[in-house]
Amino acid sequence: MTQHAAILPILIPFAAALLQLAAKGYGITTQRSIGLVAVLLGVCAATWLVWLADTGGVLVYALGNWAAPFGIVLAVDRLAAMMVLLTALLSAAALLYASAGFDQRGRHFHPLFQLQIVGLQGAFLTGDLFNLFVFFEVMLLASYVLLAHGGGMARTRAGLAYVVLNLAGSALFLIALGMLYGTLGTLNLADVALRLQTLDDNHALARLACILLIAVFALKAALLPLSFWLPHAYAAAGAPVAALFVIMTKVGIVSIMRVQAIAFAPASATADLLDGWLLPLALATVLLAALGALAAPRLRDLTAWLVLASAGTLLITPVFPQAQVSAAALYYLLQSTFVAAALFLVAALVAERRGELSDLFQSGPRLHAPWLGFAFLLAAASAVGLPPFAGFLGKLMLLSALRDSGQATAIWFVLLFAGLLLMLALGKNGGRLFWERSPHHPHAIAVPAGWRRAIAVTLLVSPALLLALFARPVADYTARAAAQLHQPQAYISAVLGENRATVQREVRP
Amino acid sequence: MEALLAIAIGLLTACGVFLMLRPRTFSLVLGLTLLSYAVNLFLFAGGRLKMDAPPLIRDGANYTDPLPQALVLTAIVIGFGMTAYLVMLALRALAESGDDNVDAKEKS
């Protein structure tokens, strides 16, 4: 059983999606139950995977028992296991929220939600670049439909731009894969790493392929010139969908971290691939996001800009080869994902109570829901990095890990300045949303949040405190994950095994 | 033959990118389709061009690399599904706004 643990996070939601399609005639309650059971099982499987990855080495699962580099493998290191658990927890909370009525605003919400989880988990687990493309497409196809879920002009419009952009991104991804296969003759990540190290000629083409790959990941991660789709798409999506989407930028970021640490950095041909351009662009992304947050008219727009700010912050780190930078980045990634997802849900609950005012930053009625304001306060404080919350610890770890680098001044200035701007935006607008009364709108609409949505918000807000309370074990784990990520030799020999020396290479013309 | 294929891929890509930058969703869909054709040909060429060679590996036989063909097949299927969804989305946008411009505002 243990050997099949790696595939469980993909199989469980896939089976659930099929069951839900078959059970369509039995009503929404059946679909909900199947979905909730599946996400709970997913959390259990992911926890088990984290435990397995943390106690053993890299867990390799050869699909169909075809050994790498010929077959497709799933490779579970501590980073992959952590991301799988994060996705499982996030999807559980988002599904719980959606089960309170959002899922009935359109058709096929539940199977699509499960398929989106399949794509996300697969993208984190796979050790093969073409397989990564396939899981990206599964994830994107589900996300296209989920984005349009609920209908409305804004969603169709945002969906159209989002779909077109990602289709162009997929074309780029395929070009990169074609070039990589053409020059290196393999698409298995460990094998790519190995062959990049022994590359003699064809440098230029291989480098071009690698940089195209990074460009595609940067599009998913919303690095600056490719980031303008994010605020529109995320703000247009329904709250639980937007909450799940928060992890999608992280797929791009983790992919960049992974290919850089395992394949590109150790090879002399591609070691300087990210130098000089990624850091300035990431810092510019953070600044743009902070300015966008200041100008945002609604809480959900502001949250979308916050997602962009955290993506920019995380994109600073892949350039640095030090493991403690990656460790800090992973801790920051955990808290920023939960907090942004929580803010999307809070925004929707606030909008519901304020009627036509929605979550626009205008003075409105008294909300009569102190827990909502409290949830907002917690999430916002953690998002901008105020002590004693997890956001503060994450930023502190990141800043202190980057202290010795040459660009420390610029990074410190930008991150702290952007933090100040975000604090201004959240403080001013949050105060207006929750405290300012308008005589034209004396009464809030009394809608009970329901236990599902209350639990979902609690689940997503509590990590702001819990990650700070249990900072030591979590930070230790991310440190171990980062140390493992920066030892590509162990990953390569785990994936390729004894095939490594015996595989005969065809001479390519 | 290499030159011919390279020119064909280049031409398809150029037309595809040009059409994608047009403001109407119809030309956008056409552009994406052309671009995906170009990408599929490019992927196919990643296994080198070889005449009269089946993608079957046998001892001493003349064969071509089967992997790019499998990759192209996967890419075609995925691209087809995506394009179909895009067309549906564009039709819905047209129905909602009465205009197939990508920046159209809601019908008032």
- Report which residue type is found at B59: D
Pairwise CB contact (< 8 Å): A160 & B71? no
Q: How far apart are CA A387 and CA A392, in angstroms?
A: 5
- Report which residue type is found at A59: L
Q: Which of A153-162, A271-280, A465-474, B65-74 has the lowest mean pLDDT?
A: A153-162
DSSP state of A200: -
pLDDT for A266 equals 87
Tokens matching residue A13: 């939601």
Q: How far apart are CA A234 and CA A362, in angstroms?
A: 21
Q: Which of A307-321, A377-391, A427-441, B8-22 has the lowest mean pLDDT?
A: A427-441
- Report which residue type is found at A391: G
Residues contacting A50, CB < 8 A, separation 6+: A78, A81, A82, A84, A85, A477
- Averaged over A257-263, what is the pLDDT? 93
Average pLDDT in chain A: 90
| C-alpha distance from A175 to closest chain B C-alpha (Å) | 6
Pairwise CB contact (< 8 Å): A153 & B45? no
Measured CA to CA in angstroms, residue A87 lies from A309, A381, A419 at distances of: 20, 23, 26
Question: pLDDT digit string (tens) for A212-231?
Answer: 999 999 999 999 888 999 99
Of A251, A233, A267, A260, nearest to A157 (Cα)?
A233
Beta bridge partners of A366: A443
Does the beta carbon of A177 lie under 8 angstroms from any beta carbon of chain B? yes
- Averaged over A414-435, what is the pLDDT? 92
Percent of all residues in chain A with a pLDDT value above 90, rounded to a whole number: 63
pLDDT for B51 equals 81
Residues contacting A33, CB < 8 A, separation 6+: none
Measured CA to CA in angstroms, residue A505 lies from A489, A502, B13 at distances of: 20, 9, 32
**Which residue in B19, B28, B35 has the most chain A C-beta atoms within 10 A of its own C-beta, making it the best mutation to test that interface?**
B35
Pairwise CB contact (< 8 Å): A145 & B85? yes
Percent of all residues in chain A with a pLDDT value above 70, rounded to a whole number: 97
Contacts of A137 in chain B (CB under 8 A): 78, 82
> Residue ranges of the domains in chain A?
2-496
- Averaged over A261-287, what is the pLDDT? 90
Question: pLDDT digit string (tens) for A23-70?
Answer: 888 888 999 999 999 999 999 999 999 999 998 788 899 888 888 788
* Burial of A455: CB neighbours in 10 Å, binned 0-12, 13-18, 19+: middle
Question: pLDDT digit string (tens) for B13-61?
Answer: 999 999 999 888 899 999 999 999 999 999 988 888 888 888 887 777 7
pLDDT for A506 equals 54
Contacts of A145 in chain B (CB under 8 A): 85
Q: Which of A160, A171, A181 sits opposite B102 (nearest CB)?
A: A160
Pairwise CB contact (< 8 Å): A179 & B46? yes
Question: pLDDT digit string (tens) for A277-288?
Answer: 999 999 999 999
CB within 8 Å of chain B, chain A residues 73-132: 130
SS3 A366: strand
Pairwise CB contact (< 8 Å): B35 & A171? yes
DSSP state of A444: -
Q: How far apart are CA B4 and CA B6, in angstroms?
A: 5
Pairwise CB contact (< 8 Å): B42 & A174? yes
- Averaged over A251-274, what is the pLDDT? 90
Tokens matching residue A109: 């919400």
Interior angle at CA A485, CA A482 and CA A491, nearest 5: 150
Q: How far apart are CA B12 and CA B18, in angstroms?
A: 10
Q: How far apart are CA A198 and CA A358, in angstroms?
A: 58
| C-alpha distance from B42 to closest chain A C-alpha (Å) | 7
Q: How far apart are CA A85 and CA A68, in angstroms?
A: 25
Q: Which of B20, B40, B85 sits opposite A163 (nearest CB)?
A: B85
Question: pLDDT digit string (tens) for A317-329?
Answer: 999 989 999 999 9
Q: How far apart are CA A482 and CA A261, in angstroms?
A: 10
pLDDT for A501 equals 53
Nearest residue of chain A to residue B9 (CA atoms): A175
pLDDT for A457 equals 93
Measured CA to CA in angstroms, residue A478 lies from A82, A194, A437 at distances of: 8, 26, 44
Residues contacting A477, CB < 8 A, separation 6+: A50, A54, A78, A82
pLDDT for B104 equals 64
Judge contact between A347 and A476, C-beta under 8 A.
no
- Predicted ipTM beyond 0.90: yes
Confidence label for B105 from pLDDT (cuts 50, 70 and 90):
low
pLDDT for A155 equals 84
Q: Is residue A200's pLDDT more than 90?
A: no
Residue that wins the pLDDT comparison between B55 and B83: B83
Q: Is residue B108's pLDDT more than 50?
A: no
Q: Which of A148, A153, A177 sits opposite B106 (nearest CB)?
A: A153
Q: Is residue B107's pLDDT more than 70?
A: no
| C-alpha distance from B2 to closest chain A C-alpha (Å) | 13
Of A341, A317, A340, A311, nearest to A329 (Cα)?
A317
| C-alpha distance from B61 to closest chain A C-alpha (Å) | 15
Nearest residue of chain A to residue B64 (CA atoms): A508
Q: Which of A205-214, A376-385, A419-428, A438-447 has the lowest mean pLDDT?
A: A438-447
Q: Is residue A500's pLDDT more than 70?
A: no
Pairwise CB contact (< 8 Å): B68 & A178? yes
Confidence label for A186 from pLDDT (cuts 50, 70 and 90):
confident
Q: How far apart are CA A305 and CA A312, in angstroms?
A: 10
**Which residue in B28, B71, B101 has the most chain A C-beta atoms within 10 A of its own C-beta, making it the best mutation to test that interface?**
B71
- A239-262 burial, b for 16+ CB within 10 Å, e for fewer? bbbbbbbbbbbbbbbbbbbbbbbb
Q: Give the residue carrying structure tokens 């399949």.
A: A118
pTM of the model: 0.93
Confidence label for B67 from pLDDT (cuts 50, 70 and 90):
confident
Pairwise CB contact (< 8 Å): A141 & B96? no
Does the beta carbon of B87 lie under 8 angstroms from any beta carbon of chain A? no
Contacts of A179 in chain B (CB under 8 A): 46
Residues contacting A372, CB < 8 A, separation 6+: A346, A349, A350, A353, A434, A449, A457
pLDDT for B97 equals 79
Nearest residue of chain B to residue A154 (CA atoms): B106
Contacts of A153 in chain B (CB under 8 A): 96-97, 106
Q: What is the CA radius of gyration of chain A?
A: 22
Does the beta carbon of B10 lie under 8 angstroms from any beta carbon of chain A? no
Nearest residue of chain A to residue B43 (CA atoms): A178
Q: Is residue A509's pLDDT more than 60?
A: no
Q: How far apart are CA A451 and CA A65, in angstroms?
A: 45
DSSP state of A76: E
Pairwise CB contact (< 8 Å): B48 & A157? no
Q: Which of B20, B48, B93 sits opposite A156 (nearest CB)?
A: B93
- Averaged over B86-107, what is the pLDDT? 79
Contacts of A508 in chain B (CB under 8 A): 48
Contacts of A174 in chain B (CB under 8 A): 39-40, 42-43, 75
| C-alpha distance from A456 to closest chain B C-alpha (Å) | 31
Confidence label for A414 from pLDDT (cuts 50, 70 and 90):
very high
Pairwise CB contact (< 8 Å): A178 & B85? no
CB within 8 Å of chain B, chain A residues 326-355: none
